A and B are shown apart, each in its own frame.
Chain A
């Protein structure tokens, strides 16, 4: 460990260090996307069907998350947590803030997917005797999913990159670990290229999965 401190070239240990950071990035992304999507689906459906007096306040709160820079949200949440005496790790704070941030965008994606299902199609479903709930699960959600998926993939990839900002509250993820190495070996171009490659390798499967699903669904349309 100490010997590596005096190394000035990129070592295998450095790569491991970055991969460990990449692991943290993936975990942040996982929890943020999971939480953000679950909340987004719930809020999105509420936004699509609730009366205005529920809709307006919810929309306003979500607008706050969409309009304040993520960096500020992270720093404020991290300080706030200390003020109210929560013993959360910076990693947990990062997951929660990223999930809320993602949910604000996901809500609008879900809402527009929901509203893209024609009222006449839903009426046909109800006319066959399907209940309101069956109409949602059998008709609205499957159709809305097809409409919403491309935007959701885009959002997920965006959130993966936005996880880099949790560095500011002290989480060592991929970008922060790269920065540590850059400071030591003074080869920013080289190290950041590797970091970029790792980001790409993590995003690529998600983008491919989305493209494949889209293609399969398009063949049916």
Chain B
């Protein structure tokens, strides 16, 4: 049970943003990906659940080739939850309906089952008071927690987080990080693209430093953040800390 990324290349037109990345994330592991803007971190996440095609290499999720011919992406995505920088609430549905939608439509749960799941997941992220409210009435932090509950409702084996706190007001960042912290404490396998270096250091088993589409350094946080070896890593950490 793992996500294996093998020499993946990804271009948008003539611009190559991921230039040969290899990395394996084992079940139960939390890996943080740090690096400057445009270093290819977010793009790599989109490739892992097949939202973006790749140009070379391959990505295996539990042995299934994500970009292989005949791979049922809709089925594969059930076990990979993803939360985006822009929380992307469905504006026409209440908080409860946002979270119920995928269990009902994708997993074919009954209304009662889906509602039970949604109530449970929303309680986890601390939104029990907001079930009947529309997303527009929520703060950014609450919307982001709803997005996490929405992904968790599919009982995924893996969770991908794409700079989930970057678009939030500073005072709202903490509540979202707390939710992620509790997830990692429960043993959820997570790949976290983040600019929150302190958070990465605290929760990660490993940290990967991305630079110009490649992994420059990867290892335990004490090593990559605490005692970086490469000049690029040192420069980056200096600029963000």
Q: Which residues of A contact B (CB under 8 A)?
A: 118, 120-121, 123-131, 134, 138-139, 142-143, 146, 217, 220-221
Contact = CB atoms under 8 A, between A and B. Distances in A.
A128 B150 CA distance: 8
Interface residues of B, number: 25
Interface string B84-121: 10101011100000000110011000000000000000
Contact of A220 (B74, B75, B78, B136): B136
Contacts, number: 63
B51 A127 contact: yes
A22 B136 CA distance: 43
B127 interface: no
Given A123-B84, A127-B84, A127-B151, 16 more contacts: A120-B84, A121-B90, A123-B88, A124-B84, A126-B77, A128-B101, A128-B102, A129-B74, A129-B77, A130-B105, A138-B101, A143-B90, A220-B92, A220-B134, A220-B136, A221-B134
Interface of B: 49, 51, 74-75, 77-78, 80-82, 84, 86, 88, 90-92, 101-102, 105-106, 134, 136, 147, 150-151, 154
Interface residues of A, dominant DSSP: helix
A121 B77 CA distance: 16
Contacts of B92: 142-143, 146, 217, 220
Nearest to A126: B51
A129 B51 contact: no
Nearest to B101: A138
B136 A134 contact: no
A123 B106 CA distance: 15
Given A134-B105, A138-B101, A138-B105, A129 B90 contact: no
Nearest to A144: B92
Contacts of B151: 127-128
A143 B154 contact: no
B91 A131 contact: no
Contact of B90 (A123, A127, A139, A221): A139
A195 B151 CA distance: 58
A129 B84 contact: no
Contacts of A143: 90-92
21 contacts: A120-B84, A121-B91, A123-B51, A123-B84, A123-B88, A124-B84, A124-B88, A124-B147, A126-B77, A127-B77, A127-B80, A127-B81, A128-B151, A129-B106, A130-B74, A134-B105, A143-B91, A146-B92, A217-B92, A221-B134, A221-B136
A82 B154 CA distance: 61
Contact of B154 (A126, A128, A134, A142): A128
A129 B78 contact: yes
Contacts of A220: 91-92, 134, 136
B147 A127 contact: no
